[in-house]
């Protein structure tokens, strides 16, 4: 039995990971440490409170050394899976300082606590954005140089450098996954897929940045979770693993697939002013992860279809978000853009 500290476990991928573990490794003990920022929601973990002997929720900040130490010392955890982050590129363009604080300093606080407690494994949930734009037909393998271009990606790259540095300098047993664009239940509707799906359900326009020909690798969250578990159990300490399906999809195609799935007209697509410094293409070589026996279970169309169905069936989850504080963000980001489209 393992004892995991899952940071950011009330967010999108973290909460899906905790549920995934419940099914796959029911005997493992999980403590979630989450600050519950706007993106973290306790209801994402609803139902888990009942398994008190194997699940615990701590509301706290990864930048708070006392709270973090309290979660890992005295056998509190033997493994840390670190998801907690500010995760939205557009937010990082508007409000970058909190990204450095949480993503870089917060990661270092966790690394220090892991070192002091003699943790068995520190797993960092990284991103393919560290490679920056990748020209076609190239694919980034794990030894590809980092070239992050947004404040978000730069902080994720900086934190990942710290993770490897603690491995090399202090012998901390670290592993890293660098995941592609993930979609599925409980994704905060600021991200393209969840925004497009919920807008489409309401018959609202889908704001596509620029020409919409930017390429992403949209992966179902269960595949991302399975990859992290595979690396935890079979990955080599000190190594990083790319995680993605290998399928390239233009954003405009993703939007059209969403509209088709919901029976909405293609005319809902609106081309709006592009994101500053928008990376044109991400593409990963995932052979290293596949050699651990992992392969994606969801084709692109299936990943979109099940995700669309989840949002259609769980309006009670996303409607209060979209009509609440998120509204101000949406107005600020999209009002002028949509008016000029």
Work out whether 251 is an interface residue with ligand NAD (CB under 6 A). no
Terminal Cα-to-Cα distance of the chain (whole angstroms): 55
Report residue 70 as tokens.
């309290």
Q: Residue 251, interface with ligand DAU (CB under 6 A)?
A: yes
91 binds ligand DAU (CB under 6 A): no
Q: How many chain residues interact with ligand DAU (CB under 6 A)?
A: 20
> By C-beta, is 128 or 268 nearer to ligand NAD?
128
From the list 135-143, 178-186, 232-240, 266-274, the region that binds ligand NAD by CB under 6 A is 178-186
H helix or E strand, kind and range, residue 318: helix 315-323
Footprint of ligand DAU on 164-203 (CB under 6 A): 180-181, 191-192, 195
Q: Binding segment for ligand DAU among 26-34, 47-55, 85-93, 169-177 (CB under 6 A)?
A: 85-93
| String marking each residue 64-83 x if it binds ligand NAD according to CB under 6 A | -------------------x
Counting contacts by CB under 6 A, is residue 89 touching ligand DAU? yes
Residue 102 makes contact with ligand DAU by CB under 6 A: no
For residue 197, the minimal CB distance to ligand DAU (Å) is 11
What letter does residue 235 receive in the DSSP assignment? P
Residue 207 contact partner, candidates ligand DAU, ligand NAD, none, CB within 5 to 8 A by sort of partner: ligand DAU
112 Cβ contact partners less than 8 Å away, ≥ 6 residues apart = 65
87 near ligand DAU (CB under 6 A): yes
Annotation says 202 is catalytic: no
User: Using a CB cutoff of 8 Å and minimum separation of 24, what contacts does 310-313 make?
Assistant: 310/184, 310/185, 311/194, 311/197, 311/198, 311/201, 312/201, 312/262
- By beta-carbon proximity to ligand DAU, the closer residue of 38 and 209 is 209
For residue 194, which of 184, 209, 208 has the smallest C-alpha distance? 184
In the chain, beta strands by DSSP E: 3-7, 29-34, 55-59, 79-82, 121-127, 174-179, 182-183, 206-209, 215-216, 219-220, 240-243, 249-250, 269-272
Nearest to 225 by CA among 296, 136, 142: 296
Q: Is the peptide bond before 100 cis (omega within 30 degrees of 0)?
A: no
Helix (H, G, I), strand (E, B) or coil at 216: strand
- The residue from 156, 264, 281, 322 that contacts ligand NAD (CB under 6 A) is 156
Choosing from 131, 152, 218, 334, the catalytic residue is 152
Q: How far is the CB of 270 from ligand DAU (least distance, A)?
A: 10
Specify whether 90 is catalytic: no
275 binds ligand DAU (CB under 6 A): yes
Reference 82, options 28, 4, 154; nearest CA is 4
Does the CA dihedral 95-324-268-304 come out positive or negative?
Answer: positive
152 classed as catalytic: yes
Binding partner of 84, given ligand NAD, ligand DAU, none, CB within 5-8 angstroms per partner class: ligand NAD
Q: What is the CA radius of gyration of the chain?
A: 19
Residues that bind ligand DAU (CB under 6 A): 87-90, 127-129, 180-181, 191-192, 195, 207-209, 214, 216, 251, 275, 282
- Supply the residues annotated as catalytic: 128-129, 152
Residues in touch with ligand NAD (CB under 6 A): 7-8, 10-14, 34-37, 39-40, 61-63, 83-87, 102, 106, 125, 127, 156, 179, 181-182, 188
């Amino acid at each position: 039995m393992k004892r995991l500290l899952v940071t950011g476990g009330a967010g999108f991928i973290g909460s899906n990971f905790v549920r995934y573990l419940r099914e796959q490794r029911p005997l493992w003990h999980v403590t979630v440490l989450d600050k519950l920022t706007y993106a973290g929601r306790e209801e994402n973990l609803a139902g888990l409170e009942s398994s008190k002997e194997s699940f615990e929720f701590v509301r706290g900040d990864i930048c708070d050394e006392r709270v973090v130490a309290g979660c890992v010392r005295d056998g509190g955890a033997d493994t840390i899976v670190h998801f907690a982050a500010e995760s939205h590129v557009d937010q990082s363009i508007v409000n970058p300082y909190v990204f450095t604080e949480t993503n870089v300093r917060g990661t270092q606080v966790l690394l220090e606590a892991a070192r002091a407690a003699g943790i068995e494994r520190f797993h960092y949930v990284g991103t393919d954005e560290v490679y920056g734009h990748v020209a076609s037909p190239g694919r980034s393998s794990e030894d590809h140089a980092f070239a992050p271009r947004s404040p978000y990606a730069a902080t994720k790259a900086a934190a990942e450098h710290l993770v490897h540095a603690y491995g090399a300098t202090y012998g901390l047993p670290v592993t890293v996954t660098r995941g592609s664009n993930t979609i599925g239940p409980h994704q905060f509707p600021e991200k393209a897929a969840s925004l497009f799906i919920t807008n489409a359900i309401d018959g609202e326009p889908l704001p596509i940045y620029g020409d919409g020909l930017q390429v992403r690798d949209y992966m179902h969250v269960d595949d991302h979770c399975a990859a992290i578990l595979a690396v935890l159990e079979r990955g080599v300490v000190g190594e990083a693993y790319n995680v993605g399906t290998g399928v390239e999809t233009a954003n405009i195609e993703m939007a059209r697939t969403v509209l088709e799935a919901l029976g909405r007209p293609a005319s809902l697509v609106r081309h709006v002013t592009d994101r500053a410094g928008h990376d044109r293409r991400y593409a990963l070589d995932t052979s290293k992860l596949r050699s651990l026996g992992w392969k994606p279970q969801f084709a692109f169309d299936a990943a979109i279809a099940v995700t669309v169905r989840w949002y259609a069936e769980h309006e009670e989850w996303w409607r209060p978000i979209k009509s609440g504080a998120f509204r101000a963000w949406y107005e600020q980001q999209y009002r002028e853009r949509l008016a000029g489209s």
